Amino acid sequence: MAGVTDGVFRRLVREIGGAGLVSMEFVSSEALTRGVRSAVSQMAFTQQERPIAIQIYGSDARRMADAAASVERAGADVCDINMGCPANKILKGCAGAALMGNLPLARAIVGAVRSAITIPLTVKFRTGIDEPRANWIELGRICEGEGVAAVSLHARTARQMFAGRAEWDRIARLKEAVGIPVIGNGDVENAGDAVEMMRQTGCDAVMIGRAALKNPWIFAQAAALLEGRPPASVSIAQRRDLIRRHFALAMACGDDKLVLHKMKSFTGWYTHGLPSGRLLRWRIGEIRSPQEFLEAVEGYFARAGS
Protein backbone atom coordinates (compact mmCIF):
# COMPACT_ATOMS: atom_id res chain seq x y z
CA MET A 1 0.00 0.00 0.00
CA ALA A 2 2.95 2.31 -0.66
CA GLY A 3 1.74 5.79 -1.52
CA VAL A 4 -1.73 5.01 -0.20
CA THR A 5 -1.81 4.55 3.57
CA ASP A 6 -0.57 8.05 4.33
CA GLY A 7 -1.73 10.10 7.31
CA VAL A 8 -4.76 11.49 5.52
CA PHE A 9 -6.11 8.10 4.49
CA ARG A 10 -5.42 6.64 7.93
CA ARG A 11 -7.36 9.48 9.56
CA LEU A 12 -10.28 8.94 7.21
CA VAL A 13 -10.40 5.23 8.06
CA ARG A 14 -10.33 6.05 11.75
CA GLU A 15 -13.14 8.60 11.35
CA ILE A 16 -15.31 6.02 9.61
CA GLY A 17 -14.46 3.43 12.26
CA GLY A 18 -14.12 -0.32 12.56
CA ALA A 19 -10.37 -0.79 12.07
CA GLY A 20 -8.56 -2.32 15.04
CA LEU A 21 -5.04 -1.37 13.92
CA VAL A 22 -3.85 0.81 11.05
CA SER A 23 -0.43 0.58 9.43
CA MET A 24 1.48 3.19 7.54
CA GLU A 25 3.21 2.56 4.23
CA PHE A 26 6.51 0.79 4.74
CA VAL A 27 9.73 2.69 5.45
CA SER A 28 13.23 1.76 4.31
CA SER A 29 15.54 0.85 7.19
CA GLU A 30 18.46 2.12 5.12
CA ALA A 31 16.84 5.52 4.69
CA LEU A 32 15.80 5.72 8.34
CA THR A 33 19.21 4.87 9.72
CA ARG A 34 20.91 7.29 7.34
CA GLY A 35 18.63 10.08 8.49
CA VAL A 36 16.96 10.67 5.13
CA ARG A 37 14.47 13.43 5.86
CA SER A 38 11.62 12.02 3.77
CA ALA A 39 11.85 8.65 5.56
CA VAL A 40 11.97 10.20 9.02
CA SER A 41 9.03 12.52 8.27
CA GLN A 42 7.07 9.58 6.88
CA MET A 43 6.81 8.17 10.41
CA ALA A 44 4.78 11.14 11.65
CA PHE A 45 1.25 10.38 12.81
CA THR A 46 -1.50 11.87 14.96
CA GLN A 47 -2.98 10.52 18.16
CA GLN A 48 -6.24 10.01 16.28
CA GLU A 49 -4.60 7.23 14.27
CA ARG A 50 -3.76 5.02 17.26
CA PRO A 51 -3.24 2.16 17.60
CA ILE A 52 -0.80 2.32 14.71
CA ALA A 53 1.92 0.08 13.32
CA ILE A 54 4.98 1.37 11.51
CA GLN A 55 6.31 -1.10 8.97
CA ILE A 56 9.99 -1.31 8.04
CA TYR A 57 11.91 -3.29 5.45
CA GLY A 58 15.54 -4.05 4.73
CA SER A 59 18.16 -6.78 4.51
CA ASP A 60 20.72 -5.80 7.16
CA ALA A 61 19.98 -7.01 10.69
CA ARG A 62 21.83 -4.17 12.43
CA ARG A 63 20.18 -1.48 10.37
CA MET A 64 16.78 -3.11 10.83
CA ALA A 65 17.32 -3.14 14.60
CA ASP A 66 18.32 0.53 14.57
CA ALA A 67 15.34 1.39 12.40
CA ALA A 68 13.02 -0.47 14.77
CA ALA A 69 14.42 1.51 17.67
CA SER A 70 13.55 4.67 15.72
CA VAL A 71 10.02 3.32 15.26
CA GLU A 72 9.68 2.87 19.00
CA ARG A 73 11.07 6.34 19.71
CA ALA A 74 8.53 7.75 17.25
CA GLY A 75 5.81 6.40 19.55
CA ALA A 76 4.37 3.63 17.37
CA ASP A 77 2.24 1.02 19.09
CA VAL A 78 3.60 -1.82 16.95
CA CYS A 79 6.69 -2.37 14.81
CA ASP A 80 6.07 -4.53 11.75
CA ILE A 81 8.68 -6.18 9.53
CA ASN A 82 7.75 -6.56 5.87
CA MET A 83 8.88 -9.90 4.47
CA GLY A 84 6.12 -10.07 1.89
CA CYS A 85 6.55 -7.25 -0.61
CA PRO A 86 6.94 -8.78 -4.11
CA ALA A 87 7.99 -5.59 -5.94
CA ASN A 88 11.13 -6.11 -8.03
CA LYS A 89 12.97 -3.09 -6.62
CA ILE A 90 12.48 -4.47 -3.09
CA LEU A 91 13.43 -8.02 -4.06
CA LYS A 92 16.60 -6.80 -5.76
CA GLY A 93 17.68 -5.32 -2.46
CA CYS A 94 17.23 -8.74 -0.82
CA ALA A 95 14.40 -7.32 1.28
CA GLY A 96 10.67 -7.92 1.44
CA ALA A 97 9.69 -11.36 0.18
CA ALA A 98 13.30 -12.05 -0.85
CA LEU A 99 14.00 -12.82 2.82
CA MET A 100 11.82 -15.90 2.49
CA GLY A 101 14.59 -17.28 0.32
CA ASN A 102 17.15 -16.79 3.08
CA LEU A 103 15.62 -17.98 6.34
CA PRO A 104 18.87 -17.69 8.36
CA LEU A 105 18.97 -13.98 7.48
CA ALA A 106 15.26 -13.64 8.19
CA ARG A 107 15.82 -15.19 11.62
CA ALA A 108 18.76 -12.86 12.32
CA ILE A 109 16.71 -9.80 11.38
CA VAL A 110 13.74 -10.82 13.50
CA GLY A 111 15.97 -11.61 16.47
CA ALA A 112 17.90 -8.35 16.20
CA VAL A 113 14.74 -6.28 15.94
CA ARG A 114 13.05 -8.12 18.80
CA SER A 115 16.07 -7.39 21.03
CA ALA A 116 16.09 -3.71 20.07
CA ILE A 117 12.52 -2.79 21.07
CA THR A 118 10.01 -3.32 23.84
CA ILE A 119 6.82 -2.68 21.85
CA PRO A 120 5.07 -5.60 20.11
CA LEU A 121 6.77 -6.89 16.96
CA THR A 122 4.85 -8.40 14.06
CA VAL A 123 6.03 -9.86 10.75
CA LYS A 124 4.16 -10.03 7.46
CA PHE A 125 5.09 -12.56 4.81
CA ARG A 126 3.73 -14.58 1.89
CA THR A 127 3.57 -18.34 1.36
CA GLY A 128 7.00 -18.30 -0.28
CA ILE A 129 8.96 -16.79 -3.14
CA ASP A 130 7.34 -19.29 -5.49
CA GLU A 131 5.50 -22.57 -5.16
CA PRO A 132 8.58 -24.85 -5.09
CA ARG A 133 9.94 -22.71 -2.25
CA ALA A 134 6.74 -22.37 -0.24
CA ASN A 135 8.03 -22.13 3.35
CA TRP A 136 5.51 -19.99 5.18
CA ILE A 137 5.06 -22.44 8.04
CA GLU A 138 8.80 -22.63 8.67
CA LEU A 139 9.06 -18.83 8.71
CA GLY A 140 6.06 -18.60 11.02
CA ARG A 141 7.72 -20.95 13.48
CA ILE A 142 10.95 -18.94 13.29
CA CYS A 143 9.02 -15.79 14.12
CA GLU A 144 7.33 -17.45 17.06
CA GLY A 145 10.66 -18.74 18.36
CA GLU A 146 12.18 -15.26 18.18
CA GLY A 147 9.43 -13.68 20.25
CA VAL A 148 7.21 -12.14 17.58
CA ALA A 149 3.79 -11.15 18.92
CA ALA A 150 1.82 -12.04 15.77
CA VAL A 151 2.34 -12.89 12.11
CA SER A 152 0.40 -11.85 9.01
CA LEU A 153 0.14 -14.14 6.01
CA HIS A 154 -0.78 -12.99 2.52
CA ALA A 155 -1.77 -16.34 1.10
CA ARG A 156 -0.02 -16.00 -2.26
CA THR A 157 3.59 -16.50 -3.32
CA ALA A 158 5.71 -13.50 -4.23
CA ARG A 159 5.82 -14.67 -7.85
CA GLN A 160 2.03 -14.55 -8.01
CA MET A 161 2.05 -10.87 -7.03
CA PHE A 162 -1.73 -10.31 -6.86
CA ALA A 163 -2.75 -12.79 -9.55
CA GLY A 164 -4.88 -15.87 -9.02
CA ARG A 165 -6.68 -16.55 -5.77
CA ALA A 166 -5.24 -16.40 -2.28
CA GLU A 167 -5.10 -19.89 -0.74
CA TRP A 168 -6.90 -19.38 2.53
CA ASP A 169 -6.29 -22.97 3.59
CA ARG A 170 -2.65 -22.03 4.07
CA ILE A 171 -3.69 -19.44 6.63
CA ALA A 172 -5.49 -22.25 8.48
CA ARG A 173 -2.40 -24.44 8.31
CA LEU A 174 -0.23 -21.66 9.72
CA LYS A 175 -2.73 -21.12 12.53
CA GLU A 176 -2.45 -24.82 13.40
CA ALA A 177 1.36 -24.71 13.27
CA VAL A 178 2.06 -21.77 15.59
CA GLY A 179 0.85 -20.66 18.99
CA ILE A 180 0.89 -16.91 18.35
CA PRO A 181 -1.93 -14.93 16.71
CA VAL A 182 -2.22 -15.25 12.93
CA ILE A 183 -3.59 -12.43 10.78
CA GLY A 184 -5.05 -13.47 7.44
CA ASN A 185 -4.64 -11.45 4.26
CA GLY A 186 -5.58 -11.85 0.62
CA ASP A 187 -8.77 -11.53 -1.45
CA VAL A 188 -10.88 -9.92 1.24
CA GLU A 189 -13.00 -7.88 -1.14
CA ASN A 190 -15.95 -7.08 1.12
CA ALA A 191 -17.04 -7.31 4.74
CA GLY A 192 -18.52 -10.76 4.24
CA ASP A 193 -15.16 -12.05 3.01
CA ALA A 194 -13.50 -10.90 6.23
CA VAL A 195 -15.96 -12.85 8.35
CA GLU A 196 -15.71 -15.87 6.06
CA MET A 197 -11.91 -15.87 6.22
CA MET A 198 -12.06 -15.99 10.00
CA ARG A 199 -14.63 -18.77 9.87
CA GLN A 200 -12.72 -20.88 7.36
CA THR A 201 -9.21 -20.43 8.73
CA GLY A 202 -9.60 -19.74 12.43
CA CYS A 203 -7.30 -16.73 12.05
CA ASP A 204 -7.30 -14.20 14.87
CA ALA A 205 -7.69 -11.09 12.72
CA VAL A 206 -7.97 -10.03 9.10
CA MET A 207 -5.73 -7.57 7.27
CA ILE A 208 -7.51 -5.58 4.56
CA GLY A 209 -5.56 -3.66 1.93
CA ARG A 210 -6.70 -3.00 -1.62
CA ALA A 211 -10.41 -3.38 -0.90
CA ALA A 212 -10.26 -0.37 1.42
CA LEU A 213 -9.35 1.90 -1.48
CA LYS A 214 -12.74 1.51 -3.12
CA ASN A 215 -14.60 1.07 0.15
CA PRO A 216 -13.04 2.63 3.28
CA TRP A 217 -16.26 1.64 5.07
CA ILE A 218 -15.29 -2.05 4.81
CA PHE A 219 -13.81 -2.07 8.32
CA ALA A 220 -16.98 -0.72 9.92
CA GLN A 221 -19.08 -3.10 7.84
CA ALA A 222 -16.96 -6.10 8.87
CA ALA A 223 -17.10 -5.04 12.52
CA ALA A 224 -20.89 -4.88 12.30
CA LEU A 225 -21.09 -8.40 10.87
CA LEU A 226 -18.80 -9.74 13.58
CA GLU A 227 -21.12 -8.20 16.17
CA GLY A 228 -24.17 -9.75 14.55
CA ARG A 229 -25.46 -6.53 13.03
CA PRO A 230 -26.25 -5.90 9.36
CA PRO A 231 -23.57 -3.77 7.68
CA ALA A 232 -24.65 -0.29 6.63
CA SER A 233 -24.79 0.45 2.92
CA VAL A 234 -22.92 3.47 1.59
CA SER A 235 -24.84 6.22 -0.19
CA ILE A 236 -23.65 8.39 -3.05
CA ALA A 237 -23.86 11.38 -0.68
CA GLN A 238 -21.47 9.64 1.72
CA ARG A 239 -19.00 9.10 -1.10
CA ARG A 240 -19.27 12.78 -2.03
CA ASP A 241 -18.63 13.77 1.58
CA LEU A 242 -15.66 11.40 1.77
CA ILE A 243 -14.03 13.04 -1.25
CA ARG A 244 -14.69 16.48 0.22
CA ARG A 245 -13.17 15.45 3.55
CA HIS A 246 -10.16 13.80 1.92
CA PHE A 247 -9.60 16.91 -0.21
CA ALA A 248 -9.77 19.22 2.82
CA LEU A 249 -7.35 17.12 4.86
CA ALA A 250 -4.94 16.79 1.95
CA MET A 251 -4.98 20.52 1.24
CA ALA A 252 -4.12 21.21 4.87
CA CYS A 253 -0.88 19.25 4.72
CA GLY A 254 0.32 19.15 1.11
CA ASP A 255 1.17 21.34 -1.87
CA ASP A 256 -1.27 21.72 -4.74
CA LYS A 257 0.60 19.44 -7.15
CA LEU A 258 0.84 16.58 -4.66
CA VAL A 259 -2.78 17.02 -3.56
CA LEU A 260 -4.03 16.85 -7.14
CA HIS A 261 -1.96 13.75 -7.87
CA LYS A 262 -3.29 11.96 -4.80
CA MET A 263 -6.88 13.09 -5.20
CA LYS A 264 -7.08 11.96 -8.80
CA SER A 265 -6.12 8.45 -7.69
CA PHE A 266 -8.35 8.34 -4.63
CA THR A 267 -11.35 9.82 -6.43
CA GLY A 268 -11.00 7.13 -9.07
CA TRP A 269 -11.20 4.50 -6.34
CA TYR A 270 -13.98 6.19 -4.38
CA THR A 271 -16.23 6.52 -7.45
CA HIS A 272 -15.66 2.97 -8.68
CA GLY A 273 -18.99 1.50 -9.68
CA LEU A 274 -20.94 4.78 -9.45
CA PRO A 275 -23.18 5.88 -12.34
CA SER A 276 -21.05 7.70 -14.94
CA GLY A 277 -18.09 7.61 -12.56
CA ARG A 278 -15.86 7.04 -15.56
CA LEU A 279 -16.78 10.50 -16.88
CA LEU A 280 -15.67 12.13 -13.64
CA ARG A 281 -12.41 10.21 -13.69
CA TRP A 282 -11.83 11.35 -17.25
CA ARG A 283 -12.64 14.94 -16.33
CA ILE A 284 -10.34 15.18 -13.31
CA GLY A 285 -7.53 13.68 -15.33
CA GLU A 286 -7.35 16.95 -17.22
CA ILE A 287 -7.61 19.50 -14.42
CA ARG A 288 -4.70 21.63 -13.27
CA SER A 289 -5.81 23.25 -10.01
CA PRO A 290 -7.44 22.20 -6.73
CA GLN A 291 -10.35 24.56 -7.40
CA GLU A 292 -11.03 22.92 -10.75
CA PHE A 293 -10.94 19.55 -9.06
CA LEU A 294 -13.46 20.57 -6.44
CA GLU A 295 -15.77 22.09 -9.05
CA ALA A 296 -15.65 18.90 -11.14
CA VAL A 297 -16.49 16.75 -8.13
CA GLU A 298 -19.33 19.00 -6.98
CA GLY A 299 -20.74 19.12 -10.50
CA TYR A 300 -20.67 15.35 -10.85
CA PHE A 301 -22.45 14.68 -7.56
CA ALA A 302 -25.02 17.42 -8.24
CA ARG A 303 -25.91 15.66 -11.48
CA ALA A 304 -25.92 12.32 -9.65
CA GLY A 305 -28.53 13.69 -7.28
CA SER A 306 -26.60 13.33 -4.01
Return the active site residues: 85
* Contact assessment for residue 213 and residue 162, using Cβ atoms and an 8 Å cutoff: no
Q: What distance in Å separates the CA atoms of residue 202 and residue 212, rounded to the nearest whole number?
A: 22
| 233 contacts 227 by C-beta, under 8 angstroms | no
Rounded to whole angstroms, the Cα distance separating 194 from 187 reads 9
Paired strand residues for 123: 81, 151
On whether the CB atoms of residues 249 and 12 are closer than 8 A, the answer is: yes
Alpha-carbon distance 85 to 125, whole Å? Answer: 8
Angle between helix 103-116 and helix 61-73 axes, rounded to 10 deg: 30
Q: Letter for the amino acid at 206?
A: V
Tell which residue, 15, 19, 63, 61, has the closest CA to residue 39.
63
Considering just the CA atoms, what is the radius of gyration of the chain in Å? 20
